[in-house]
């Protein structure tokens, strides 16, 4: 993830205002600092699950569908089409994966899920690009159709298959995984609970033990997307459609074509995310996506419309998801972490002259600390809202650093610049 | 095109323009519904079901008194949700958050209403006020973020919806009581309930909230169409710069529109809560906010149009329940709803473009009909 974070070297990073983007060394220092704080909180509070290999592994697999959905959003929005329909396209992906996956194996399922997601993307492209319908409306419609269609199809297909039901598919096989040879050694170190060292072993152990091939595939897709969008002429043209479509048009770029490609790829990636979810759960179930398409959207915004940071956001959201499932008491220390992050934000905002925001951030940080002191655990119901709260905080407290594609969400008609 | 004899035709065209306009206006929704029927027929046929059998079963179901009452009740809920969404639409605000606003509001009303005993008519008034306040407050977060930090309301309301789910279930566990394997708030008693209207041929009652829904529709029509405030909202939505130039405080209007939208959204859960369940639990209806978006779009933000759209939506949803008995998955209704929504917005767009083409033709015809260039005319256009 860290390699991808450093990748986009900003051919498009608009006129640089105060504070350009973080340089790689600074990012590494930042990640190291975050890791040390996490280790310290783990050591102080005894919440060993915070950095256990189990949590990291679970977080990684939870992050995959979120990251792929977010990446789908990235493709579409970089070409200027907002895709709220990610959730619906993911649902098509889960169903498609199960439809072929249960008897032809998980890879056939992944492929078909991706194709169905792409079909959802095609519908969105036809509505938004050809017919110029508002992007949000088309997305809402897709989110209404997809779950209905998936459940309808489930009832006419899976319900008659062995092991299937009215709301679920027959089981799907696992896609296989790899374990690096030295991982048992990491587990030994992890169990010592030494400060920082065991934490590092836990994180590494989680990354290399029974690493699903689907996760590897997702990582490759992130790298490939970053490379295609930021390192090729094709990507430059695609992004130009999201920044200044009429300028692109005047340079001979076929904006419609690039938007179509971007939205179809967007659907395909969301479908792949859905398929990954189905494979991880070993079947299709009604309501399985549980809003992950929207969390993907949140990761996209958190990541400032960039692949590396998006992957980091997906990792963060997947991590909170996993930690809640593994041990809800381990979530409690996260309140402290949040408070520390907020204080850092406050200091940064104060220094850039945004005093009011700094004060708001400190107030929220104080509330988080009070909450931490006053309670023993965070209620499970609220832990699930972490990605959304984090996104709102990022939007509210750091929005001057966020920059979405300039023509994002605007309807484009060839030759009709106003 | 420069034949001088075209005057008569152009004149007659202009006379016929209103009719043409009406026909074009109807073409979009009717075309969309026909397309949805076609699409769902294809899907049904592929699944091995007879479309005509399915549609006649749905129509027959609608005629039964019990399901008729059910449909009216559902339609009024949809209508409230649609009005809430359309208040935002008027100002180019996309309140996707009706979903979260009404669920928290319904919880608040149920909790406060359950704590109170007696109070006569004020009991219901308090419940309604609490619901509107909670709805407005939740929407107000998105409004504040928009005006102070420029955060898109689409994104913030999506996030707030998800937070509302967690927060609502947390509050329910903390403040509610378990009954059986369900957790619910303390039931609202006596004066806090709203009596229903009887309908011949069934025990089921039409929610008394029907009158509130109608009143909201009338108020919506009056405020948006007949007051300066409504005009300002519309003006801001149509052309923000022009509105600013004419002295509209856009930030304030954005916040007010968001609060109003949220307040109406707060009412969405009440017909069922005060008229039937009298308690809030996890089984409360969800998805009403998204239905409201679809209905507001289908009815084009018009008070009457949205009412018709709400009835259509409710008919599709409720009459499909019968389909399970003839072995057809009822989800076909959701597919039809979504296809109607998508095709209706496409149809509106096509009709809009077609109208532009027609207007251009009219103008061209008129220009061709006017006597060859008087020099003064050219000076004006130049």
Domain that holds residue B102: 77-301
Check CB contact under 8 Å for A298 and B159: yes
Disruptive mutation site among B82, B104, B289, B346 for chain A (greatest number of A CBs within 10 Å): B346
Query: Helices marked H in A191-254 — which ranges?
Result: 197-208, 213-231, 233-243, 245-250
Q: What are phi and psi of B165, to 5 degrees?
A: -60, -50
pLDDT digits (tens, 9 = 90+) for B54-91: 999 888 888 888 889 999 999 999 999 999 999 999 98
At residue B379 the predicted structure's pLDDT band, cuts being 50, 70 and 90, is very low
Contacts with A298 from chain B: Cβ below 8 Å? 159
pLDDT at B9: 67
> How many Cβ atoms sit within 10 Å of the Cβ of residue B225?
12
- Residue appearing with tokens 């003006």: B235
- Taking contacts as CB-CB distances below 8 angstroms, the residues of chain A near B350 are 131
Contact indicator for A52, A187 with CB cutoff of 8 Å: no
Chain B hits for A134, Cβ within 8 Å: 345
CA angle B367, B371, B377 (to 5 degrees): 70
The confidence score (pLDDT) of residue B211 equals 94
pLDDT score at A28? 80
Contact call for A391 and B155, based on CB within 8 A: yes
Contact A395 B293 (CB under 8 A): no
Does the pLDDT of residue B372 top 70, yes or no?
no
Identify the pLDDT of residue B16: 54
Question: What are the beta bridge partners of residue B202?
Answer: B199
Return the exposure string of A165-180: e unless at least 16 CB atoms fall within 10 Å of the residue's CB, then b. Answer: eebbbbbbeebeeeee
Other beta carbons within 10 angstroms of residue B278's beta carbon come to 20
CA–CA separation, B307 and B298 (whole Å):
10
Chain B residues whose beta carbon lies within 8 Å of the beta carbon of residue A149: 43, 331, 334-335
Residue A9 is predicted with a pLDDT of 42
Position A22 scores a pLDDT of 59
CB contact (8 A) between residue A145 and residue B342 = yes
Q: Higher confidence at residue B166 or residue A269? A: A269
| Co-location of B133 and B203 in the same domain | yes
Query: Which of A66, A70, A129, A131 would best serve as a mutation to test chain B binding (most B beta carbons within 10 A)?
Result: A131
The tokens of A278 are what?
């189905």
Contact call for B346 and A396, based on CB within 8 A: no
In terms of domains, do B375 and B229 share one? no
Q: Does B144 touch chain A (CB under 8 A)?
A: no
- Model pLDDT for residues A352-364, shown as the tens digit of each residue: 888 888 898 899 9
Q: CB neighbours (10 Å) of residue A148?
A: 22
Q: Which pLDDT score is estimated for A255?
A: 95
- Name the A residues in 154-173 with CB < 8 Å from any B CB: 155-156
B48/A392 Cβ within 8 A: no
Among B146, B37, B40, B18, which residue's Cα sits nearest to residue B94? B146
> Greater confidence, A335 or B273?
B273
**Per-residue tokens: A213:** 């091939």
Q: Is residue B322 part of a domain?
A: no
C-alpha span between A410 and B178 (Å, rounded): 49
Distance, CA of A413 to CA of A128 (rounded, Å): 10
- For chain B, the domain total comes to 2
- Distance from B94 to chain A by nearest Cα, in Å? 9
Residue A43 or B141, more confident: B141
Tell me the domain boundaries of chain A: 48-326, 328-405
Under an 8 A CB cutoff, do A381 and B169 touch?
yes
Contact between chains at A144 and B290 (C-beta distance less than 8 A): yes
Instruction: Name the residue in chain A with its Cα closest to that of B36.
Output: A145
- Residue B147: CB partners within 8 Å, gap ≥ 6? B251, B254, B255
Using DSSP bridges, classify how beta strands B197-199 and A211-212 pair: parallel, antiparallel or unpaired.
unpaired
Count Cβ–Cβ pairs < 8 Å, chain A vs chain B.
132
B293 touches chain A (CB under 8 A): yes
Instruction: Please enumerate in sequence order all residues whose Cβ is within 8 A of that of A177, keeping only pairs 6 or more positions apart, or say none.
Output: A210, A211, A212, A213
The C-alpha atoms of residue B274 and residue B268 are separated, in whole angstroms, by 11
Look at phi and psi of residue B127 and say left if phi exceeds 0, alpha if psi is from -120 to 50, else beta. alpha
- CB contact under 8 Å between B163 and A149, yes or no, is no
The residues, ordered by sequence, that sit 6+ positions from B313 with a Cβ below 8 Å of its Cβ are B75, B78, B291, B294, B295, B298, B337
Q: Is the pLDDT of residue B344 over 60?
A: yes
Chain B: residue whose CA lies nearest to A129: B346
Whether A395 and B333 lie within 8 Å, measured CB to CB: no
- Least CB-CB distance to B149: which of A141, A389, A396? A396
Question: Do A134 and B345 touch, CB atoms closer than 8 A?
Answer: yes
Chain B residues 149-208 with a CB less than 8 Å from chain A: 149-151, 154-156, 158-160, 162-163, 165-167, 169-170, 173-174
pLDDT in the model for residue B2: 45
From B169, B290, B339, residue closest to A140, measured CB to CB: B290
In the structure encoding, which two tokens stand for residue B246, read together? 């004419």
| Closest CA of chain B from A275, distance in Å | 22
Q: Which residues from chain B sit within 8 angstroms of residue A143, using beta carbons? A: 290
> Which residues of chain A fall short of a pLDDT of 70?
1-23, 327-328, 400, 418
- Model confidence band, residue B7 (pLDDT cutoffs 50, 70, 90): low
Q: How far is it, in rounded angstroms, from Cα A374 to Cα B213?
A: 44
Q: Kindly state the tokens that stand for B46.
A: 């592929």
DSSP string, A43-76: HHH--GGGS-HHHHHHHHHHHHHHHHHHHHHHHH
Q: Is the pLDDT of residue B377 over 60?
A: no
CA atoms within 13 A on the CB side of A135: 22
Q: Give how far A120 is from chain B: nearest CA, Å.
A: 13
Chain segment B88-128, per-residue pLDDT in tens: 999 888 898 999 999 999 999 999 999 988 778 889 999 99
Report how far residue A373's alpha carbon sits from residue B167's, in angstroms, rounded to the nearest whole number.
20
Statement to judge: residues B176 and B35 lie in one domain: no
Q: Sort out which chain A residues have CB atoms less than 8 A from B295's CB and list them.
A: none
Return the closest-CA partner of residue A345 out of A384, A309, A390, A314. A390
CA distances from B78 to A109, A311, B98, B228, B322 (A): 38, 38, 11, 28, 20
User: Cβ of A144 and B338 within 8 Å?
Assistant: yes
B25: tokens are 């206006």
Tokens 């998006």 -> residue: A310
CB–CB contact B341 A141 (8 Å) = yes
> Vertex A387, ends B164 and A302: CA angle to 5°?
125
Gap between the terminal Cα atoms of chain A = 41
Share of chain B above pLDDT 70, in %: 92
Q: Among B321, B292, B317, which Cα is nearest to B307's?
A: B292
Q: Are residues B153 and B296 in the same domain?
A: yes
Q: How far is B372 from chain A (nearest CA, A)?
A: 30
Q: Are B158 and A381 inside 8 Å of each other by CB?
A: no
Q: Tokens 């679809």 map to which residue?
A: B294
What pLDDT is attached to residue B17?
56
Tell me whether residues A148 and B333 touch, CB distance under 8 A.
Answer: yes
Q: Which pLDDT does position A165 carry in this prediction?
A: 85
Cβ <8 Å between B338 and A395: no
Residues 6+ apart with CB under 8 A from A210: A57, A177, A178, A179
Distances (CA, A) of B113 to B172, B190, B210, B278: 14, 10, 20, 9
H/E stretch holding A211:
strand A211-212
Residue of A381, A403, A405 to mutate, testing the B interface (most B Cβ within 10 Å of its Cβ):
A381
Q: Are residues B127 and B186 in the same domain?
A: yes
Q: Both B245 and B110 in a single domain? A: yes
Name residue, tokens 């016929």: B16
Instruction: Find tokens 């409690």 and name the residue.
Output: A332
Report the alpha-carbon distance of residue B36 to residue B30 in Å, rounded: 10
Distance in angstroms (rounded) separating the CA atoms of residues B54 and B52: 5
* Helices marked H in chain B: 7-46, 51-63, 65-90, 98-115, 121-149, 153-175, 210-226, 228-238, 240-245, 250-267, 270-272, 288-298, 303-319, 332-369, 375-381
Do B117 and B29 fall within a single domain? Answer: no
Distance of residue A385 Cα from the nearest chain B Cα, in angstroms:
5
Rounded to the nearest 10 degrees, what angle do helices A292-302 and B153-175 cross at?
120
Q: Does one domain contain both B159 and B225? A: yes
Question: Which runs of consecutive H residues, i.e. helices, occur in A126-192?
Answer: 135-156, 183-190
Are B163 and A388 in contact (CB < 8 Å)? yes
> Residue A20: what pLDDT?
47
pLDDT tier, B11 (very low <50, low <70, confident <90, very high otherwise)? low
**Nearest beta carbon to residue A132 from set B167, B333, B349:** B349
Residues B87 and B184 in one domain: yes
Out of A148, A294, A379, the one facing B331 most closely (by C-beta) is A148
Average pLDDT for B305-311: 94
This model of the complex carries an ipTM of 0.83
Q: How far apart are CA A364 and CA B148, in angstroms?
A: 17
Determine, for residues A395 and B297 on separate chains, whether the beta-carbon distance falls below 8 Å: no
Longest dimension (CA), chain A: 67
Give me the residues paired with residue B177 across strands: B184
Contact A131 B346 (CB under 8 A): yes
Q: Are residues B187 and B245 in the same domain?
A: yes
**Shared domain check, B288 and B231:** yes
Tokens 């909230």, residue? B209
| Cβ-based burial of A11 (10 A; exposed 0-12, middle 13-18, buried ≥19) | exposed
pLDDT, one tens digit per residue, over B167-192 is 999 999 888 888 777 888 888 888 88
Q: Which of B151, B167, B338 sits opposite A396 (nearest CB)?
A: B151
Counting beta carbons within 10 angstroms of the beta carbon of residue A81, is it exposed (0 to 12), middle (13 to 18) or buried (19 or more)?
buried
Rounded-to-10 torsion of CA A396, A397, A402, A404: 0
Residue whose token pair is 């692109």: A248
Of the candidates B47, B145, B331, the beta carbon closest to that of A396 is on B145
Identify any residues that bridge with B199 across adjacent strands, giving them in sequence order: B202
Contact list in B for residue A295 (CB cut-off 8 A) is: 162
| Closest alpha carbon within chain A to B48 | A156
A137/B341 CB distance under 8 A: yes
B380 confidence band (pLDDT: 50, 70, 90): very low
pLDDT score recorded for residue B207: 92
Claim to verify: residue B2 and residue B109 sit in the same structural domain? no
Tell whether A381 is within 8 A of chain B (Cβ). yes
Least CB–CB distance from A140: residue in B43, B294, B331 = B294
B165 belongs to a structural domain: yes
Q: Compute the nearest-CA separation of A289 from chain B (Å).
A: 13
**Domain A48-326 grouped into CATH 3.40.1360:** no
Residue-by-residue DSSP string for A305-371:
T-HHHHHHHHHHHHHHHHHHHH-GGGGHHHHHHHHHHHHHHHHHHHHTT-HHHHHHHHHHHHHHHHH
Task: Determine the 3-state secondary structure of B178 from DSSP.
Answer: strand
């Amino acid at each position: 993830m860290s390699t991808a974070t450093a990748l986009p070297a900003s051919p498009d990073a608009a006129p640089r205002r105060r504070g350009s983007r973080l340089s790689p060394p600074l990012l590494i220092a930042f990640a190291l600092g975050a890791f040390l704080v996490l280790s310290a909180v783990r050591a102080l509070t005894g919440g060993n699950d915070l950095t256990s290999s189990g949590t990291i592994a679970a977080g990684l697999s939870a992050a995959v569908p979120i990251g792929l959905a977010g990446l789908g959003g990235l493709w579409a929005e970089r070409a200027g089409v907002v895709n709220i329909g990610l959730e619906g396209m993911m649902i098509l992906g889960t169903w498609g994966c199960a439809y072929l996956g249960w008897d032809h194996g998980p890879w056939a399922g992944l492929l078909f899920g991706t194709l169905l997601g792409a079909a959802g993307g095609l519908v969105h492209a036809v509505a938004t690009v050809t017919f110029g319908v508002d992007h949000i409306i088309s997305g809402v419609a897709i989110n209404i159709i997809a779950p209905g269609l998936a459940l309808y199809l489930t009832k006419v297909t899976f319900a008659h298959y062995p092991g299937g039901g009215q709301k679920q598919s027959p089981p799907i096989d696992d896609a296989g995984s790899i374990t690096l040879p030295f991982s048992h050694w990491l587990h030994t170190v992890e169990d010592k609970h030494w400060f920082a060292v065991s934490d590092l072993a836990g994180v590494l152990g989680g990354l290399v033990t029974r690493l699903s091939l689907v996760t590897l595939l997702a990582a490759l897709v992130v790298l490939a997307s970053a490379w295609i969008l930021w390192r090729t002429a094709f990507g430059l043209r695609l992004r130009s459609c999201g920044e200044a479509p009429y300028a692109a048009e005047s340079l001979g770029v076929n904006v419609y074509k690039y938007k179509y490609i971007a939205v179809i790829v967007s659907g395909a990636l969301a479908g792949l995310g859905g398929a990954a979810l189905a494979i991880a759960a070993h079947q299709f179930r009604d309501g399985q996506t549980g809003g992950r398409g929207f969390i993907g959207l949140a990761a996209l915004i958190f990541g400032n419309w960039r692949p590396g940071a998006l992957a980091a956001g997906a990792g963060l959201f997947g991590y909170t998801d996993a930690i809640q499932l593994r041990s809800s008491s381990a979530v409690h220390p996260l309140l402290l972490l949040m408070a520390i992050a907020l204080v850092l934000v406050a200091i940064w905002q104060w220094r850039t002259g945004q005093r009011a925001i700094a004060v708001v951030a400190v107030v929220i940080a104080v509330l988080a600390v009070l909450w931490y002191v006053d309670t023993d655990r965070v209620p499970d119901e609220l832990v699930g809202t972490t990605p959304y709260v984090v996104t709102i905080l990022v939007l509210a407290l750091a929005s001057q650093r966020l920059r979405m594609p300039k023509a994002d969400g605007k309807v484009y008609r060839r030759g009709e610049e106003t | 095109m420069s034949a001088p004899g075209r005057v008569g035709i152009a004149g007659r065209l202009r006379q016929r323009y209103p009719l043409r306009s009406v026909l074009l206006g109807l073409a979009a929704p009717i075309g969309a519904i026909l397309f949805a029927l076609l699409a769902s027929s294809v899907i049904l046929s592929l699944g091995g079901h007879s479309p005509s059998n399915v549609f006649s079963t749905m129509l027959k179901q609608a005629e039964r008194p019990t399901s008729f009452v059910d449909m009216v009740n559902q339609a009024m809920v949809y209508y409230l949700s649609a009005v809430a969404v359309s208040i935002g639409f008027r100002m180019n605000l996309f309140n996707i958050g009706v979903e979260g606003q009404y669920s928290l509001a319904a919880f608040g009303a149920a909790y406060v209403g359950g704590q109170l005993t007696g109070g006569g008519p004020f009991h219901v008034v308090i419940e309604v006020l609490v619901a509107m306040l909670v709805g407005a407050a939740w929407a107000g977060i998105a409004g504040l973020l928009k005006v102070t930090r420029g955060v898109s309301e689409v994104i913030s309301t999506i996030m707030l919806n998800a937070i509302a789910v967690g927060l609502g279930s947390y509050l329910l566990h903390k403040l509610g009581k378990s009954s059986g394997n369900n957790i619910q708030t303390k039931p609202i008693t006596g004066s806090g309930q709203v009596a229903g209207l009887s309908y011949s041929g069934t025990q089921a009652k039409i929610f008394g909230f029907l009158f509130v829904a109608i009143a909201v529709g009338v108020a919506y029509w009056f405020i948006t169409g007949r007051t300066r405030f409504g005009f300002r909202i519309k003006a801001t939505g149509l052309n923000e710069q022009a509105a600013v130039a004419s002295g509209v405080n856009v930030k304030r209007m954005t916040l007010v529109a968001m609060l109003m939208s949220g307040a109406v959204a707060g009412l969405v859960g009440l017909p069922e809560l005060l008229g039937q369940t009298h308690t809030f639990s996890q089984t409360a209806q969800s998805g009403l906010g998204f239905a409201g978006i679809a209905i507001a779009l289908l009815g084009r933000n018009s008070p009457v149009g949205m009412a018709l759209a709400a009835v259509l939506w409710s008919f599709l949803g409720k009459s499909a329940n019968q389909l399970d008995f003839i072995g057809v998955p009822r989800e076909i209704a959701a597919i039809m709803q979504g296809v109607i929504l998508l095709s209706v917005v496409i149809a509106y767009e096509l009709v809009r473009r077609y109208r532009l083409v027609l207007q251009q033709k009219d103008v061209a015809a008129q220009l061709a009909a006017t006597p060859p260039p008087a020099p003064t005319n050219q000076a004006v256009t130049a």
